[in-house]
Amino acid sequence: MTILTLLLYVSLTAFLLYLLQLNLRTRHSKRLPPGPTPWPILGNLPHLGTIPHHSLAALAAKYGPLMHLRFGFVDVVVASSASVAAQFLKTHDANFASRPPNSGAKHLAYDYHDLVFAPYGPRWRMLRKICSVHLFSAKALDDFRHVRQEEVAILTRALASAGNSTVKLGQLLNVCTTNALARVMLGRRVFGDGSGGGDPKADEFKDMVVEMMVLAGEFNIGDFIPGLDWLDLQGITKKMKKIHTQFDSFLTTIVEEHKTSNKGARAGGHGDLLSTLIALQDDADEEGGKLSDIEIKALLLNLFVAGTDTSSSTVEWAIAELIRHPQLLKQAQDEIDKVVGRDRLVTESDLGQLTLLQAIVKETFRLHPSTPLSLPRIASEGCEVDGYYIPQGSTLLVNVWAIARDPKMWTDPLEFRPTRFLPGGEKADADVKGNDFEVIPFGAGRRICVGINLGLRMVQLLVATLVQNFDWELANGLQPEKLNMNEAFGLTLQRAEPLMIRPKPRLAPHVYGSG
């Protein structure tokens, strides 16, 4: 195909698509939610900017908490208030229980064979049931409590032995959360402890996870203008295929090693998840059928990606906020000293007594939600929300970040103020488990994050441990008020700059144990 022929083809395609778009604009006779005027062909995609949850929040301030946009030829509705989100995720939850077609699900998540992007139905229910029973049930979480505590203790020793060295906290946290999850999923750790200059494999793994999250969070033009998908104008599809190949190789090796092993891997006497999944391949679920190797790898991919970086990035944000609020850090240390003492490490069983610590974690989830824009959902049928018509096939985005900063719901919403969640505070009774729509970092409704209870336990334990065991200094003599708190957009909320700090042990050496 010559360049001239290609240009003619693209021009003709664009013209036809433009005519189609004009037709679509007049398609809805019913009243749509307000929103900015779309551009020809691209629709409102140019309005998204480099950090979409910020741009959409700014648009909501002008057009209201329920907006209608067009991304290419796709109707998109954005919920930016707790009351509107509740209508979508509670009142109309069943209608918005599936995901729209997207390149991330196709090229990253084994073509919708995973739990996160699978269509709502028997296969999805089967995968969710497996996770709920074998990994995230109260019994499973209690059975593997020792694994989390052992991995956090290893992290603590690594930090205590850092001396005057500067550490990249996020990377060490990622090693800890990945190893804790891997021991439950695979029966073994996958990385070293991050001490002695770090583990290159761990750095590579975190980079892979972050890149996958960034790519999954991109708005790919081909998803919204199908006629341009083959051109891959942003190069996103190419990058997705490359990172998927890397992850697939990693997961295939793990699965094959497990299958050829004479003994199922064990973690503290309990069968690991992968051994259970392989065993379940012989059993057919009455609704979902049999588990395939692809579904097993897709499920492992979900757990590794969604269960590691989300927790570690949240803890990194929490410590950054406490460094900027030294009085609050001191109060949290005093609370832990009073409940736990200074002669042992804090454990999960202590967390229920640490009221301020729990409030700090809630406030971190509010101000820095790990998923600032909810994973998209699709309207199976047309419906009415807030007096407006929502067309069938519309993509729903919930701006979790904007909702948690809504000045109509929160006093001084931009301030890090955990006291709002303490007894007597304005949100003392609010939780983060999907029941209170003004703070829904894990989502809500049928497709709420299946790992919410594990995520809460891990984040609380890590924050409590870091608060109990260390004072913190910023690298290069940087003053706390100068700490960069900017965000980098991806599917998860990363810091624009990693937190570089020097840990200063505050307890007796024997508490940290031997290396």
Say how far apart CA 351 and CA 309 lie, in whole Å: 22
DSSP codes, 426-438 = TTTT--SSSSSTT
Helix (H/G/I), strand (E/B), else coil: 68: strand
Q: Which residues, including other chains, have CB under 8 Å from residue 110's CB and lie 6 or more apart?
A: 294, 295, 297, 298, 301
Say how far apart CA 405 and CA 104 lie, in whole Å: 28
> Strand runs (DSSP E) across 408-482, as ranges?
470-474
Instruction: Tell me how far the alpha carbon of residue 50 is from its chain's centroid.
Output: 19
Residue whose C-alpha is closest to residue 346's, from 236, 460, 210: 460
Say how far apart CA 438 and CA 81 lie, in whole Å: 7
Phi, psi of 71 (to 5 degrees): -100, 105
DSSP codes, 125-175 = HHHHHHHHHHTSSHHHHHHTHHHHHHHHHHHHHHHHTTTT--EEHHHHHHH
176 is in an annotated binding site: no
What are the b/e assignments for 203-229, b being 16+ CB within 10 Å? bebbebbbbbbbbbbbbbbbbbbebbe
| Token duo for residue 50 | 């480099």
Helix (H/G/I), strand (E/B), else coil: 449: coil
Task: Write the CA distances from 360 to 40, 467, 479, integer angstroms.
Answer: 46, 11, 22
Say how far apart CA 337 and CA 468 lie, in whole Å: 7
Residue whose C-alpha is closest to residue 359's, from 452, 432, 410, 413: 432
**How many Cα atoms are found within 13 Å in the side-chain-facing hemisphere of 179?**
25
In contact, 357 and 336? CB cutoff 8 Å: yes
Binding residue positions for heme = 449
Write out the binding residues: 449
